[in-house]
Structure 1
Amino acid sequence: MPTFTAPDGTELAYHIRGEGPPLVVLPGGPMRASRYLGDLGGLTAARTLILLDLRGTGDSEVPADESTYRVDHQVADVEAFRDHLGLERMDVLAHSAAGNLLMLYAAAHPRRLGRTVLVTPTARALDLGGTPEDRLTAARLRAGSEPYDTAIAAYERILGGADTDEDWDRAAPLFHGRWDEAARAFYAAGEHEQSEKAAAAFTAPGAFDPPATRAALRALTGEVLVLAGAWDGNPPPALAARIADAFPAGLLDVLPATAHFPWLDDPAAFAERVERFLATGT
């Protein structure tokens, strides 16, 4: 397992899978071990995935200073990772909460990015957070059958403030395009893959300055694909379109019949769309 040393001395691990041009991968969660990304729907057939375990997750070391879990502090980790890999410019894929890390990195180091893929990203870094109404609207697209009616009722309770493990278990089908055995196993594994302490600190006060980030992103010349799931509520497609518009060369694509983990819901369509963008920028 290869490692490198972050600027503060924390030892960070990464994992290499596949063959082809390199694609650096930043996991979401926030702060979930990169193993949940698997081979990204078979993208390893065309790309060498280089998956970073963020500090305190997966095989990476827990930092001495836990305040460095805050997302803006981790920008230095990503830049050190690029330098360690010897990449003058790197193509990057970021999932979910890691979209915020990528946005902050792009603002700080716009000339170090080639093409960027943001998969179902959250965007507090741009002050583009989804609302409970957005999430419920997306959830209700699935109404009319089980397990979705039970899941919607549980999600309504969660968004109303009744945040229990039981309701999260009931709501889990909403985050997947289909609730099959693979999706259930994926959800169960998540309990052991995320650092709750690191996740709580990821968006701590002071992490974001959206006006400054938006202004800095104007210097980003590389193309950015924002890939949304048609059934995802965080972000829903309309919000994903606004995220794409924040980039000078931003594109939006929405994969049908997918939710927050589109590489699981439709692996072939996901891998084909990402590879086409990385190869052509369109």
Structure 2
Amino acid sequence: MEFFTSYDGTALAFRTLGDGPPLLCLPGCPGRAAAYLGDLGGLSAHRTLILPDTRGTGASAMPADLATCRVDRLVADVEALRRHLGLDRVDLLGHSAGGSLAMLYAAAHPDRLDSLTLVTPSLAAVGLPSDSGVEAVIAARAAEPWHAEAVTAHRHVTAAKTFAEAAPYRFAFEPLMYGRWDEAARAHAAADPAQRALPVSEHYYRGYTPDTRELRGRLGALPCPVLLLAGEVDLWPTAESAAGAAALFPEVTLAVQPGAGHYPWLDDPQAFTARVEGFLSRVG
């Protein structure tokens, strides 16, 4: 684990994993330490993954002002890390809520990106819906033995006003977030509470209102290529929502991974790695 000091004096942690050109990977969920990303399905065999813990999560210090954990203000931490690493330009990957952060970074610092990879990204930062057609996605999995319990839990999670209120229902809901509810998925989901900092989760979008016109204008002029990777059975974003978001970017590859949920590197590591590395290699 390595550390750097961000713009406001907060000590932030990151680790590097793998070999090859650097790929800066922003975790999401939101408020979950980067450990849940693992090695991104073996992508570390092709890229040096730079995996920062968002402020207040994992080994990163909790800031004195929790308002600095809001997604738009986290852009400054990403820029501070880029400077610390001495990279003039970066390949940037964002997952889930980290996808929202990656889009805001791209809008603020387009000249610092060689590529942008959005893996099942939250679309909250750009004011787009993430759940278009979600009921059909849920209904398509009705034959699963866990389905009834997960649907009930899903209603509780979506009705909750805070992450803490949703927490008691999360594990029962989690099968809907994976393409396969196997031993690896259950272990990954069970690790969530220990990896998640609820104060960061609660403040990630609190008080944030996107300037959608300006953001969409900036993203519409983004000079680097974008990979937008969705999971076929993901709920947030659905493949339908991801397809709508693709129109934000002038040079975009939209990929829907068959049978994948919110964590496509777990559902089919080979397909995920081939798709992302193929894109990055073409960019390089």
Q: What TM-score do you get using the length of structure 1 for normalisation?
A: 0.94
Residue 152 (structure 1) shift: 2.4
Deviation of 1:139 (Å): 1.5
Q: How many residues align?
A: 281
Q: 2:219 aligned with 1:217, yes or no? A: yes
1:111 aligns with 2:111: yes
SS of 1:79's partner is helix
> In the alignment, which residue of structure 1 is the partner of 2:149?
150
Q: Secondary structure at the match of 1:173?
A: helix
> Which residue does 1:15 correspond to in 2?
15
- How big is the shift at 1:87? 1.0
Closer, same or farther in 2 for the Cα pair 1:157/1:4, shift >3 Å?
A: closer
The CA distance in 2 between the partners of 1:219 and 1:64, in whole Å, is 36
Deviates more, 1:165-174 or 1:201-210: 165-174
Equivalent position SS for 2:20: coil
Structure 2 distance, partners of 1:158, 1:58, is 24
CA RMSD, Structure 1 to Structure 2 (Å) = 1.8
Aligned position for 2:62: 62
2:238 maps to 236
Unaligned runs of at least 5 residues, structure 2: none
Shift of 1:76: 0.8
Matched residues, percent identical?
47
TM-score by length of 2: 0.94
1:51-82 superposed Cα distances (whole Å, 9 cap, x missing partner): 01111111111111111011111111111111
Aligned partners of 2:103, 2:137: CA distance in 1, in Å? 25
How far apart are the structure 1 equivalents of 2:168 and 2:7? Answer: 40
Distance 1:170 1:2 in 2: 35
Is the partner of 1:91 in helix, strand or coil?
strand
Shift of 1:168: 2.7
CA change 1:61–1:154 in 2 (3 A) is closer
Does structure 1 conserve the Cα–Cα contact (< 8 Å) formed by 2:96 and 2:119? yes
Contact 1:136 1:156 in 2 (8 A): no
Which residue number corresponds to residue 173 of structure 2? Answer: 171
**How far did residue 155 of structure 1 move?**
2.0
Answer yes or no: is the 8 Å Cα contact 1:143–1:152 preserved in 2: no
Once the two structures are superposed, what CA deviation does each residue of 1:86-136 show, in whole Å capped at 9, x if it has no partner?
1111001100011111111111100101111100001112111224x6333
The residue correspondences of 1:24-39 to structure 2 (distance < 5 A) are 24-39=24-39
Aligned partners of 2:24, 2:144: CA distance in 1, in Å? 39
